[in-house]
Amino acid sequence: MHRQIIFEHKQSEPNGDIVEIRIREIETTAEYPEGVRYSFVYIRDGKRLVGYDNYHGKGHHRHVKEREESYEFIDAWKVFEDFDEDIEKVKKGVIA
């Protein structure tokens, strides 16, 4: 499966939090009909607090703290916006 990196970024914040984003263009398949594979993750103290991905045959889904739920994929930039909003909510304690 040919993969072309669209965007890849890893950021370590001063408090030790980590944000990693990977978006790859891939061949369109039944498992990846949009032709994109992505992973967005926010980590604090070695634990994933927020994550969005379409890996592992589960389709589009998100992780918020201990919960995992389906996610309606529109495009990779919308995932980025939603991911960023969830990070801010976790930081503010809105999502507990």
**DSSP count for the chain of H helices, then E strands:** 1, 6
Beta strands in 13-44, from DSSP E residues, in sequence order: 18-26, 36-44
- pLDDT attached to residue 95: 81
Rg over CA atoms, the chain: 13
CA–CA separation, 69 and 71 (whole Å): 6
DSSP states along 76-87: HHHHHHHHHHHH
Q: What pLDDT digit, counting tens, does each position of 13-62 carry?
A: 999 999 999 999 999 999 999 999 999 999 999 999 999 999 878 899 99
- pLDDT attached to residue 48: 98
Q: What pLDDT digit, counting tens, does each position of 55-96 carry?
A: 878 899 999 999 999 999 999 999 999 999 999 999 999 986
Contact predicate 40/62, CB 8 Å: no
- pLDDT attached to residue 96: 65
What is the pLDDT confidence band of residue 3, given thresholds at 50, 70 and 90?
Answer: confident
CA–CA separation, 67 and 1 (whole Å): 30
Contact predicate 39/58, CB 8 Å: no
Could you tell me the pTM of the whole model?
A: 0.91
